[in-house]
Copies of this chain bind each other. A is one copy, B any other.
Amino acid sequence: MITKNKIKLISSLNQKKFRDDNGLFVAEGTKLITDMTATYKTRWFFATSEWAENHKTINGLTPEIVDQEELKKISNLKTPQGVLAVLEKPAFTWDNSDLRNSLTLALDDVQDPGNLGTIIRIADWFGIRNIFCSEYTADAFGPKTVQATMGALSRVQVHYVNMVEFLTEAARTVPVYGTFMDGQNAYNEKLTHEGVVVMGNEGNGISPDVEKLVTSRLLIPNFPAGEPTSESLNVGVATALVCAEFRRRMVGA
């Protein structure tokens, strides 16, 4: 049993305004909640009786039992997974020294929630612990992105910053890389073991003000060079290719 007011509040969390106002967000599914409740504080935790019979608890948390109809009202999924957690939005702190000896991502207005989720998953895979997002980047705590991270959001810290201010600061400490259609072949460029990699908006790339702060312009070349091909790669794919090349150099493969 769940009160009408609680249903209303939880449903409202599919909008950024209400996530920000309440400092809460939603995660669904056993695997995702297992990962997420290890990192984020749990406000409420609901499950159907079927789920509770099979799983009992997650990380020592016992769910409030709801019926299918109630779960449907608070779920963002077409097919609810039997279990839903309302978690507290984190207040991560950082300073410039966190950028030392690390690879860090900066997203300049990546707008698609699915792309952002894919990028968080890639960051997790390649041991990137911090992603800095411009204010117009999709919200990492929106339901589509949270689900798309498949748990990676529990191991990667996502910060929202004024991108120009952030990069101006960051550039004092580490190199700032960016990907451009007229950049230098990433496979031939010097890639350091620390730095910030800026990825741009899906349609417009990196914005002019941010571009000025990039110290090394990279390109993932197509093959064979000079052949007619697609105008660009998907931003998630491009992020993966750049991160993989940084990491390949580091292990000396």
Chain A residues at the B interface, C-beta cutoff of 8 Å: 114, 118, 121-122, 124-127, 150-152, 155, 185, 187-188, 220-225, 227-231, 233-234, 236-237, 240-241, 244, 247-248, 250-251, 253
Copies in the complex: 2
Please tell me which one of the listed residues B222, B228, B230, B237 contacts residue A150 in the complex, with CB atoms under 8 A apart: B230
Expressed in whole angstroms, the Cα–Cα distance for A31 and B230 within the complex equals: 11
Instruction: Evaluate whether A222 and B125 lie within 8 angstroms (CB atoms) in the complex, with A228-B155, A229-B155, A237-B118 already known.
Output: yes
- Shortest distance between the CB of A37 and any CB in chain B (Å): 15
Judging by beta carbons under 8 Å apart, are B220 and A185 in contact?
A: no
Expressed in whole angstroms, the Cα–Cα distance for A151 and B229 within the complex equals: 9
- Shortest distance between the CB of A183 and any CB in chain B (Å): 14
Please tell me which one of the listed residues B114, B124, B229, B237 contacts residue A127 in the complex, with CB atoms under 8 A apart: B229
Instruction: Evaluate whether A234 and B236 lie within 8 angstroms (CB atoms) in the complex, with A222-B126, A223-B251, A253-B185 already known.
Output: yes
Chain B residues with Cβ below 8 Å from A126 are: 222-223
